[in-house]
Amino acid sequence: MAEAHQAVAFQFTITPEGIDLQLSYQALNQIYLSGVRSWKKRVSRMRNRVIKGVYPASPSSWLFVVIAILVTMYMRSDPSMGLIAKIQQHLPLSLHVSLSAQGQNIVSALVFSTLLWLSLILALRLCLKLLLSYHQWMFEKHGQVSNTTKVWVTLVRLLSSRKPLLYSYQTSLPHLPVPAIRDTLDRYLESVRPLLTDPEFKRMTELANEFESSLGNRLQRYLKLKALWATNYVSDWWEEYIYLRGRSPIMVNSNYYGMDFLYVTPTPVQAARAGNTITALLLYRRKLNREELNPSRVPGTVIPLCAAQCERMFNTTRTPGADTDVLQHWQDSEFVAVYHNGRYFRLWVYRAGRLLSPREIEYQIQRILDDPSPPQAGEDKLGALTAGDRTPWSQIRKQYFSSGGNKRSLDAIERAAFFVTLDNEEQGMRGEDPAGNLDRYAKSLLHGKCYDRWFDKSFSIVIYKNGKNGLNAEHSWADAPTVAHLWEFTLATDAFHLGYTEDGHCKGEIDRSLPHPQRLTWDIPTEVQAQVSSSLALAQALADDVDCHVFPFREFGKGRIKKLRISPDAFIQIGLQLAYYRDRGGFSLTYEASMTRLFREGRTETVRSCSNESCAFVKALEGGEVKFVKFVGGLSLYFRESVLSEPWRLSTSQTPVQQMELFDLKNNPDFISLGGGFGPVADDGYGVSYIIVGEDMINFHVSSKYSCSETDSHRFGAQISKALHDIMALVSADSKTPSSSRGTAQPQPQPQPQAKKLL
């Protein structure tokens, strides 16, 4: 094969005269250039370690301190108050012999200057950490900022004035505090009050008090001890016990998806879209490795967020274990893994240390699309192992993929920068049934055919036959905002920076001597094929049960909501409560994901948006008695069991737009992101993801299960739209703004006066 010959750096033959060694200078040159690229990355990492290690100061500030000390000494003043003289007394004997008294004085001054400089850095970092520990700003009323917060903002800006690298703030972020157990229990009881009858709430209160006086205080001491020792007392347990220890399929249950533009497909050429998408992702990785990405911040502020989740974005896979999975991350990878028509390929994206151009990657992808070779026995549905239960996959992996050719091929997938699926289907909002096709597009990204994705990879991209693309992400290594940041950059770079030729192909030149993408080879015995079939059957049943509905809400957006001095997210959440009440005739425990990235290595917390106030508002608006959706099995005899048995029948999450500057929606209004979604958390509940796009649009992703007769994603989507419309009509009834900004407003019932007062 051509790639095999080109991969050989030297050949030799044994002759009667001796060994005849033939060197391939082209191959050796590529090895040399790859080594140069690797060393450049190492030097860049070392440079970045120094720069972020002294932040918020700069390396050059050391020279300023040295000059200041030397100038002061030249003026016959001792800024060290005798410390320089003491340092001079403790210099090595060799320096006393080789240097003059003046030279020793200068060396001592340099040592003192360096120690002073390091002390100043630690002091500045401590000041920044103390400033970032102040969180009162988030509790202040809109437009009424206290003088304390104004001073705080000024100081934070002053200490953050130097341009930071991606990880510059990491050591300055505060640690997540351990809340008092009484505060935790009080907040918990308040959150479940609207979901319990009076006798049930009384019993829950008794259980909570009993827990506090017995096991709770002991657990609290353990938490405080861990908080003193660990960087974050939650994150490692969250990663392991919430994600990695799960033995059920991660497809649908854990993984989530991201979509392409709603109205635009930059090119209909599948290979070209793959070329630009892969290039954009690798450009992001380059910026990530060089730490050139701006640190994420709380929107509209200078407050930094933890960037630790970015570290395992690329070259990462989740490997199955008997009891718990493990996340494996490699420092670098020069190839991606590609799946097409039941076959796996390794595609090298670097040649001689150079990133291939988008046109060259398109050329290589087209070679894969044109390859007529059939799948090997058992190869086509091998990916189903990653879609089924984790324990069987662990056993099969250990027994049949731990050595030989199978291990080499599996390594090529797991060590790849990311996974690429070239899908033969066409997807997107198209054809005679655009709404239905949008729902099918979501299902395809969430689970595909259950075997044509590698669900263990940190993320996989899907390129469809008509040029549409999308993403499926594994959840344990990071939360959705981190992946959304990557996907925003990818879409914007693809459409606005890399671009396409008039005939829809990628730009750039082609080196036609590129070796062919490498087919991965497998030896799949019948035992493995049997497990593949079993995993596929389980995954297919799970996928067939998912009911997805995606719809853009265009009646109004955050622009109109903010004019009414209401938080857009709060407005949507109260709308979801109203919609759920109308759909199910009662209330349920509600999960809204929120970030704790204000703290070092922070991940996710829960906003329990079903509250006493939200229930009172819905009740007042509907004018009826509130019904309760009870806990599964009722209350247990023990507090822990009662809490852990509560089902999240309404699980919600907002996908924030973090880089709006990349999308010029004013001049390119059709380049609107659809956001992404996830599967339902409870078998009888809903999963709702939403993204607020621009000023006038909110995209919703609703999921549920067909097997539950009480849920219907399309019906709930309609309830969401109606609820948002009714609440807007309520809050804007006294204003001159019409109740609908687009089209004719539907007649609505007269809102209850008490509901307006409560809102």
CA distance 684 to 629: 11
The active-site residue, picked from 475, 549, 701, 725, is 475
Please list, in sequence order, all residues whose beta carbon lies within 8 angstroms of the beta carbon of residue 641, skipping any fewer than 6 positions away: none
- Nearest Cα residue to 239 out of 459, 476, 457: 476
Which long-range contacts link 195-198 to residues 24+ away (Cβ below 8 Å)? 195/587, 195/588, 195/589, 195/610, 195/628, 195/629, 195/630, 195/631, 196/628, 197/628
CB atoms within 10 A of CB 669: 14
CA distance 393 to 376: 20
CA distance 543 to 521: 29
Nearest-10 crossing angle of helices 147-159, 101-132: 140
Calculate the dihedral angle through the C-alpha atoms of 27, 33, 36, 40, rounding to the nearest 10 degrees: -140
Residue pointed to by tokens 């089924």? 388
Q: DSSP class of residue 210?
A: H
CA distance 189 to 166: 40
Q: Could you give the count of Cα atoms lying within 13 Å of 65 in the half-sphere of its Cβ?
A: 20
**E strand segments, 398-458:** 419-422
List Cα–Cα distances, 647 to 573, 614, 650, 709, in angstroms: 18, 19, 9, 17
Structure tokens at 300: 């509209």
Query: Per DSSP, what are the bridge partners of residue 572?
Result: none
Please list, in sequence order, all residues whose beta carbon lies within 8 angstroms of the beta carbon of residue 747, skipping any fewer than 6 positions away: none
Structure tokens at 547: 């009911």
CA distance 681 to 218: 31
Measured distance between the N- and C-terminal CA atoms of the chain, rounded to whole angstroms: 71
Q: DSSP class of residue 662?
A: G
Radius of gyration of the chain (CA): 30
Calculate the dihedral angle through the C-alpha atoms of 474, 478, 481, 483, rounding to the nearest 10 degrees: -50
Say if residues 317 and 460 touch (Cβ distance below 8 Å).
Answer: no
Say if residues 471 and 258 touch (Cβ distance below 8 Å).
Answer: yes
Phi then psi dihedrals of residue 519, to 5 deg: -70, 135
Q: Is 714 a catalytic residue?
A: no
What secondary structure does DSSP assign to 157-204, as a single string?
A: HHHT-SPP-TTTTGGGSPPPP---HHHHHHHHHHHHGGGS-HHHHHHH
Q: Which helix (H) or strand (E) holds 417?
A: none
Structure tokens at 631: 């806990």
Phi then psi dihedrals of residue 165, to 5 deg: -80, 175
CA distance 327 to 221: 29
The catalytic residue positions are 475
